[in-house]
Structure 1
Amino acid sequence: MKNALVLQSDFGISDGAVSAMHGVAHSVCNELSIFDLTHDIPPFNIWEASYRLWQTMTYWTEGTVFVSVIDPGVGSTRRSIVVKTGSGHYVVTPDNGTLTHIQRTEGIVEARIIDETINRLPKSGESYTFHGRDIYAYTGARLASGVISYEEVGEKIDHESLVTLPVKEPKRKKHSTEGIIDILDVRFGNLWTNIPRPFFRELDIVYGDTLNVTIIYDGREVYHSAMTFGRSFADTHKGEPLVYVNSLDNLGVAINQGSFAKAYNIGTGSNWEIVFTKL
């Protein structure tokens, strides 16, 4: 049985890198279904790669193989691995933190280090700067097409030893809840937090309530204002901010028909904290 192969990278599509990965996978099995998650991850942004995997993975069928190549350490001693997740998916990636969100949510049940003496594109020579093509796309295609089993990827390693990025878990207090700005809804500039919607329910916050919103970067307050908790963007006027529930059932912050991130120069990651307080 052949499983889908889904590719993610920070390569962009202005040159032939992504096409080369497709070509390698197709050469392994020309009946393989190959899809792109995104190739617009900002260069070297491991955090965003980790989030996009989690954002997408559970919508794909069990057995799907993901290849994620955001690899500032290519050619170094960092490990090349394949993991099996608690949801039954596989991820082929450098061991550099790309699995942080998956490890927290779906869990990782097994990890193997890629045996490059077997799972490396033939005739790829002494190139050590395009592992996305020579190792990851090749190994991912072999696994997805059934040319190799998961056990044939390489030696099993302790999945607890995998590299993870620092994460601050969301907290609920007496009158407020706090977390981090996990990611941006890039095209529209909305802020997506890691605070789940049930936290608002536990604080008895309902649609139409007014909230104080505070954003802190590296311990310094960079934004503070009151805004409405709306069901949709139609609950505010154009240009006004609002708090809403995003498509992953977490809390988000936006400007109606504007970019909140651009307006206030907001970034993402564990050093970008956000606090919602009920008035």
Structure 2
Amino acid sequence: MSRALVFQTDFGLADGAVCAMYGVANSVDQKLKIYDLTHDIPQYNIWEASYRLRQTIDYWPEGTVFVSVVDPGVGSTRRSVIVRTRRNQYIITPDNGTLTHIKRIEGIESAHTFDERANKLPTAGESFTFFGRDIYAFNGAKLASGIIDYDDFGESVSVDSLVELPIIPSYREGGQVIGTIDVLDVRFGNLWTNIDHHLFHELNVSRSDRLTIKIKNDTRTVYKNTMIFARSFAEVAIGEPLLYINSLENVGIAINQGSFAKAYSIGTGTNWHISIDKA
């Protein structure tokens, strides 16, 4: 029985790259059900590819095959891998840090690396720049359709050997919690932090309490103000900021019907720090 096949890339939809991946997968098995996680990962942004997998994977059933292609090192010596998560899902991707959040948060049960040349789309010929089509979509479709079996494909490697991007954990220090701004809720400009709801609630806060929020880019303070802790956006006036618990049960910062990121020119990554304490 075919498994679901889910694609994620930084290719966008302005040309035929994603459609070519669909074509390869359909050529392997026309009965496959193919879905898109996103194709709007910012170019070369491995961190965001890793985060979007983490955002999505829990809501897909066992056996789902994810193909993630954000691959600035295409054609280099970096490995191609397939991993099986602890929830018995599969991810095929370059081993370049894309698996960071899955490894740290979801858990990876085992990993295999495989020979790219020996498992390349036969019609690709001399091309070695479109591995999304020629390697990952091709082998992801074969895995999803059952043509190849994970246990027998490639060579087993240590999960510890998988490349990880640096992660700075959130923590509590006295009466405040401190973390980083991992990613944006892109369309709306909300900030998604790495401070989970358990750590946040160690501050013993209730809804409608006012909190002091400080955001720094490295050592430079970019934002400092107070806002309320709300259940949802509708609990504050339009244009008013709020702190809320997002869909991953981490702390989010937003402006009701506005973009917090644009309003204060705030970015994401480990150099963007946020601290929260009671006002």
Task: State TM-score, norm by structure 2.
Answer: 0.97
The answer (yes or no) to whether the contact 1:82–1:153 under 8 Å persists in 2 is no
Task: Give CA-to-partner distance per residue, 1:23-68, whole Å, 9 cap, x none.
Answer: 1011111111111100011111111100000000010001100000
- How far apart in 1 are the matches of 2:62 and 2:210? 41
Paired amino acid for 2:121: L
1:268 equivalent to 2:268? Answer yes
Map 1:1-279; keep pairs closer than 5 Å. Answer: 1-279=1-279
- How far apart in 2 are the matches of 1:45 and 1:276? 28
Task: Give CA-to-partner distance per residue, 1:189-241, whole Å, 9 cap, x none.
Answer: 00011111122322211101111101111232211111111111122211111
| Residue 146 of structure 1, CA deviation | 0.3
- How far apart in 1 are the matches of 2:256 and 2:116? 50
The answer (yes or no) to whether the contact 1:119–1:153 under 8 Å persists in 2 is no
| Residue 117 of structure 1, CA deviation | 4.2
Bigger mean CA deviation after superposition, 28-37 or 198-207: 198-207
SS at 1:198 equivalent:
helix
Paired amino acid for 2:36: D
Gaps of 5+ in 1: none
The answer (yes or no) to whether the contact 2:203–2:277 under 8 Å persists in 1 is no
The answer (yes or no) to whether the contact 1:212–1:276 under 8 Å persists in 2 is yes
| Residue 184 of structure 1, CA deviation | 0.4
Stretches (4+) displaced over 6 A: none
How large is the RMSD of aligned CA atoms in angstroms? 1.0
The answer (yes or no) to whether the contact 1:210–1:228 under 8 Å persists in 2 is yes
Gaps of 5+ in 2: none
SS at 2:188 equivalent:
coil
SS at 1:123 equivalent:
helix
- How far apart in 2 are the matches of 1:13 and 1:234? 33
- How far apart in 1 are the matches of 2:97 and 2:14? 26
Bigger mean CA deviation after superposition, 18-27 or 217-226: 217-226
The answer (yes or no) to whether the contact 1:200–1:206 under 8 Å persists in 2 is no
Task: State TM-score, norm by structure 1.
Answer: 0.97
Paired amino acid for 1:222: V
| Residue 10 of structure 1, CA deviation | 0.4
Bigger mean CA deviation after superposition, 112-121 or 209-218: 112-121
Tell me how many residue pairs correspond in the alignment. Answer: 279
